[in-house]
Structure 1
Amino acid sequence: MPCPGSFFIIYIFLLFLIGTPLLFLEMAVGQRMQQGSTGAWKIVGPWVGGVGYTSFMVCLIASLYLNVLNTWILYYLAQAFKYSIPWEQCPLLKNSSGFDPECQRTTPAVYFWFRTTLKTSDSIEDGGPPDLNMTLPFLLAWCLVGAFMINGLKSVGKVMYVLVPLPYVIALCFLIRGTLLEGAEFGLEHLKVLKISALYDVAVWCFAGVQVLFSLGLGSSPIVSLASHMNPSNNCLHDAFFVMLFNLGSTLLATPSIFCLLGFWATITTYRCSEKNAEMLSSLVTLGKLPPEAQPPENLGHNPGLVFFAWLSSLPPPISSLVLSHIVECDLEKQFLKVKEGSNFAFLAVIEALTFAPGSVFWTILHLLMLLAFGLNIMLGTLQSIVTQLQDSFSPFRRHPKLCTGIYYVILLSEYWMILPIVIIVIFENVAVAWAYGARRFLADLANLWGCSIHPIFHWLWFAVCPIVLLVLLVTCLILLPLNSMSYLAWDSSTSKEVSRQYPMWLLFAMMSLFLAVILPIPMRLVYCLTHGIPFKPTSLDGPVKEVQKEPILQDDNQTADPPAV
């Protein structure tokens, strides 16, 4: 995790510099062409038209693992309704008759519970039967998505009216509640940390740029597909600014609440660590393995960490050294910084933090509902993109619209594989509009449709700034990905601890092959255009656009769609 303060400065800068122009670009293309990615990009830039098929395959692959995340959330949600939340206590581990000494001392109990419940294998290469505990939640996750999409975009639009604002209303509740928790100010202090050196760190800029593309949904075609159902005379520039500001506002709303909860979690976990150390020392003194001078205070008071540290500092050096050899370090700062281990650890830390708070069941259920709403939003957008492109490519899907894995693989796909395809797709989309069709020409077409002029700054952003930034981002990713260790944290069942393992070469080769297969339509389309004499710049848009009849968003059952005006 980069320095939060520095990261947000870079993130906001890139959000305005490339995020908004590229979001406007995708919206304008979908709305102007009235088609999904597979059809729209062939019209805008014939030579780079293969990018639509690439984005379609990326959506297809992403949908396969994104709903696995919703499955886990549904499983957690079902467990949260129990009288006693299972992860309040450490699970029994295979290697001992008791609890692991790290559990609930420096590591969240929910983390151990998550690993043992999912029957996580010792490595990505180990096979085994499927986890039957996940069967029903997995089926339910797909049933929910199917039920929301069964009537096409009409039902999706109505569901979105609930699913989109719901997470932000809940996030506001968490922000208010989080600021009242003990240790919240400690978490907020880390949010304010600003390191000037991070502003010159290429890796931080690369991470922020990738986050801008992912947070706005660029490159994976949902924006183009959804925009294709809008009225061509709609001013999507205003929509792009609204989405960008909504994205920025949601980030500024959610992040402080998460840091408040993480500060609370680190504080309570440090308290419990000191209490566990005191209990261990007392039992060792009782057993005669430590001298009576090593007996800690019976009551550690409201701040166990401070009292225990004060007692430890007062011990003579020989006794202090003996005590230190039997206890675990309980440092508030180091405990908070454990969230740098990854987003999964931070997610589980927040889940456990809620079990410490008053009304833990209510807040846990609310938190999981917020995550489920986020997950369903992403899934609906992704699948609607797939359906739209199928309807644009095959007429039976337009006449009959209703026709339409393990944790280590999810991490590999989401954290490593998805980055390069998305960046490459956005680059070719930018090339199609700015250089193939022509940025000035495209903006002039939009101005004629809207009846108002568009600021020429977007011409320069599309033509020069965005391509340069995206190319730098691509080169940086290509350099950093091989330099970073392609490893993952595996669950070692023999020791009940996480160990770092390298991804096997055959799996990396498979991921590279999948990447090449997804990108293949782009050069294939280029070769096709060259061999058939198709020009780089399109000559006319009238023919292809008028052939497609789009279903407007939230169309009533008694209404019919007007043909798109071109």
Structure 2
Amino acid sequence: MSAAAADRGKWGSPLEFVLSCLSYAVGLGNVWRFPYLCYRNGGGAFLVPHTIMLFLAGLPLFFLELVVGQYSSLGPSEAFKMMAPLFQGLGLATLVVIILVTIYYHIIIAWTILYAVDSFKAELPWGSCAYDFNTENCFSQLEDLKCIASETTSDEWYEYHTTAPISESLVLGWNATLAENKEHPLMTFWNQSCHSVVSLCTSRGLVALPNNRTHCFNTTLSQNVTAASLHSLLGRVLSSEEYYSRFVLGAGYGADWEHWGGIQWRVLVCLLVAWIIAAICLVKGVASAGKVMYFTALYPYVVLFALLIRGATLEGAADGIFYYISPQWETLSKAAVWGDAASQVFYALGLGCGSLVTLSSYSNFHNNCHRDAVIVTIVNCLTSILAGFSIFAVLGFLAHHMGVSVPDVVQSGPGLAFVAYPEAVLHMPQPQLWAVMFFFMLFCLGLGSQIAGLESITTAIMDKWPKLRAHKALVGVGTCACCFIAGIPMCFEGGVYLFTLLDWNSAAWSILIIGIAETVLIGWVYGPNRFLENIAEMGMKLPWAVKMYWKSCWVVMSPLLLLGILIFSLYEFTPAYYGTYFFPQWVDGIGWLLGAVSVIPLPLMAMYRIYKRREKGMELLKPTEDWGPAHLREKIMNDSHKESKFNYLGHDNTACEFDVINSQGMNI
């Protein structure tokens, strides 16, 4: 290994690289984002566009980025520039995206730390309604179970119904069950204490049935009996949802875009701790980080399977799972659903952010990244589906006990995972232990993805200024410090609005444009045949049918599919909102600006290369002399004289081939 290569670092083994890709790709996007997108887009129907996008766009781009990084041993900023000078801005665009994502993504890690700390308390705070931040609408499933257990025999129900106006149909139904219902009244939890269902229904001019603790019924004499759920009548909000929205986020205290509210000091401290941990991991480098990946990549599956098993045993879980797997086909006609599927694939796999190019740039030149791409993509998809089963089982349980449909349990949004999963933990033996394990799992998932993103940023800096490699620790610490400062506004009571705006725009339509640019570069400029030859140089022998699959994806299917989704997504674009709060128009403008900043480097750097006139005509679309494997590039750079360079090329077939490839034009 050359000194330069040694300075840059290498993975200790091919397995470490696979695990690092798994740790990066299998992250919070699977556990946090995928379930809420299914929740928002009709359950099982979302799996159809998601699967199509995964294999026609996600996997081809994933493999493409791994090849670029491994073949060149460079980060995206330098690699794409050398492949075609006109596409110099592509690497910078991916850098802007990963910077924006890294800043707001770390807030989620801060939340997991806050939850983990509170998990050590004798009573898990999201399971109770007895805190200052709770409202009278707070509903605790644990407290409700205590109310049910306190039910005693009483004549209240009988006395009430001797005078209440009721319909004949209701009377017939009640008479058939009176002998089996001796314990009255039915009790439920509301406004910090237990109340009888009878009294709650009466206060709203309705009546209660003897076997129904979740609904009230109309008191008219008509045969058309209607029911209303207590959940909607009382405006109930799960205690876990209030803990997340009011305590963790500080939302609900009147903050908006005009009044940002006070700072959430606990979140700020957790954010600082999260960035300190990230900085320590970054300073250690890929050689040390690879060892940690053995744990961070595998441990989450233990917890996910445990939560799935527990969730499946809860009463009503089947309803949630049925909603999850039952496709609502009418949603497939909405472009927004396909746009969400595309953004989720890009988000979950980490495409268009430069991180995969960076990770693979530390791989051995002859590593089988084709195998790695297939394994990671399939495991990523299965992990998303597994997380969906876990979370919808819990939603089914909650819907059953609250007397509502699955979509009405909690608000659809990023906080879904911070409501449903913690609620599941409450119903497990030793809930504190499982809470610590779960939030440590989320922390591992988030940190694994973040380290890869931060490596992309620091690698881009050190590839641009190689002398900084001697000060890698300072570069890493400085990067983390800047990102921490940029994330401070999201620690205020109104910070969730900025978080939502970044999530809505930074990894949405702009990242589709980056994906289109990558496929155009490989499929139409650099050439798929030449790209497949580069793959063969690295020792990967692909069958003819597999080559045809990759070529058809890079040249036709991926760019056309992404272009179509981009057009329809922009046509039906919905401005960002949080819950019932819709952002002002000037905030929507900022959102568009955030998306535009991610793609502006593409045309700007193209015009810069044309203006500088370092390359003319077709030279802008051809690889530069520096493009190629690192070991050949270093040999050429180390030749002190032009004559000795040509002599060397004349006596080394591999180097001659490298020189000939660089002299060719477009090869499609």
Pick the TM interval, shorter chain.
0.7 to 0.9
Instruction: Kindly state the Cα deviation for residue 413 of structure 1 after the two structures are TM-superposed.
Output: 0.5
Instruction: Kindly state the Cα deviation for residue 349 of structure 1 after the two structures are TM-superposed.
Output: 2.9
Residues 337-391 of structure 1, C-alpha deviations (whole Å, 9 max, x = no match): 3346223145313312322444322222222122111111111111111111112
Tell me the SS of whatever aligns to 2:363. coil
Higher alpha-carbon deviation: 433-442 or 102-111: 102-111
* Residues 81 and 361, structure 1, Cα contact 8 Å, conserved in 2: yes
Residues 6-44 of structure 1, C-alpha deviations (whole Å, 9 max, x = no match): 211221222112111111111111111211110011112
Tell me the SS of whatever aligns to 2:578. strand
2:550 aligned to 458, 461, 467, which one? 458
User: What code does the residue aligned with 1:537 have?
Assistant: L
Q: Does 1:422 align with 2:511?
A: yes
* Residues 505 and 592, structure 2, Cα contact 8 Å, conserved in 1: no
1:116 aligned to 229, 246, 258, which one? 246
2:467 aligned to 383, 396, 400, which one? 396
Give the RMSD, CA atoms, in angstroms. Answer: 2.4
2:572 aligned to 480, 484, 498, which one? 480
What is the rounded CA distance, in whole Å, between the counterparts of 2:250 and 2:337 in structure 1? 35
The number of aligned residues is 475
What is the rounded CA distance, in whole Å, between the counterparts of 1:88 and 1:340 in structure 2? 18
2:621 aligned to 507, 531, 537, which one? 537
What is the rounded CA distance, in whole Å, between the counterparts of 2:576 and 2:332 in structure 1? 25
1:135 aligned to 244, 264, 268, which one? 268
Residues 247-277 of structure 1, C-alpha deviations (whole Å, 9 max, x = no match): 1221232221211122222233x1xxxxxxx
What is the rounded CA distance, in whole Å, between the counterparts of 1:503 and 1:201 in structure 2? 23
In structure 2, the residue matched to 1:100 is 136
5+ long unaligned stretches in structure 2: 1-39, 141-230, 476-489, 635-653, 659-668
Instruction: Kindly state the Cα deviation for residue 445 of structure 1 after the two structures are TM-superposed.
Output: 2.2
Instruction: Kindly state the Cα deviation for residue 99 of structure 1 after the two structures are TM-superposed.
Output: 4.3
What is the rounded CA distance, in whole Å, between the counterparts of 2:239 and 2:100 in structure 1? 32
In structure 2, the residue matched to 1:190 is 323
2:374 aligned to 214, 231, 241, which one? 241
What is the rounded CA distance, in whole Å, between the counterparts of 2:503 and 2:627 in structure 1? 39
In structure 2, the residue matched to 1:521 is 601
In structure 2, the residue matched to 1:40 is 79
| 1:75 to 1:46, Cα distance in 2 relative to 1, 3 A | same
User: What code does the residue aligned with 1:424 have?
Assistant: I
In structure 1, the residue matched to 2:166 is none
What is the rounded CA distance, in whole Å, between the counterparts of 1:372 and 1:470 in structure 2? 32
TM-score (norm 1): 0.79
Instruction: Kindly state the Cα deviation for residue 437 of structure 1 after the two structures are TM-superposed.
Output: 0.7
Tell me the SS of whatever aligns to 1:119. coil
In structure 1, the residue matched to 2:45 is 6
User: What code does the residue aligned with 1:222 have?
Assistant: S
| 1:541 to 1:200, Cα distance in 2 relative to 1, 3 A | farther
Q: Does 1:70 align with 2:109?
A: yes
What is the rounded CA distance, in whole Å, between the counterparts of 1:40 and 1:85 in structure 2? 49
* Residues 439 and 463, structure 1, Cα contact 8 Å, conserved in 2: yes
User: What code does the residue aligned with 1:4 have?
Assistant: G
**Structure 1 residue ranges (4+ consecutive) displaced by more than 6 angstroms after TM superposition:** none
* Residues 263 and 336, structure 1, Cα contact 8 Å, conserved in 2: no
Instruction: Kindly state the Cα deviation for residue 453 of structure 1 after the two structures are TM-superposed.
Output: 4.0
Instruction: Kindly state the Cα deviation for residue 92 of structure 1 after the two structures are TM-superposed.
Output: 5.1
| 1:340 to 1:457, Cα distance in 2 relative to 1, 3 A | same
Tell me the SS of whatever aligns to 2:581. strand
User: What code does the residue aligned with 1:431 have?
Assistant: V
Q: Does 1:79 align with 2:159?
A: no
Tell me the SS of whatever aligns to 1:231. coil
Tell me the SS of whatever aligns to 2:367. coil
* Residues 149 and 155, structure 1, Cα contact 8 Å, conserved in 2: no
In structure 2, the residue matched to 1:557 is none
User: What code does the residue aligned with 2:123 have?
Assistant: S
In structure 2, the residue matched to 1:54 is 93
Q: Does 1:446 align with 2:535?
A: yes
| 1:448 to 1:397, Cα distance in 2 relative to 1, 3 A | same
- 5 Å matches for 1:279-358? 331-333=403-405, 336-339=407-410, 341-358=412-429
| 1:417 to 1:423, Cα distance in 2 relative to 1, 3 A | same
Instruction: Kindly state the Cα deviation for residue 111 of structure 1 after the two structures are TM-superposed.
Output: 1.9
* Residues 352 and 514, structure 2, Cα contact 8 Å, conserved in 1: yes
Q: Does 1:211 align with 2:303?
A: no
In structure 2, the residue matched to 1:298 is none
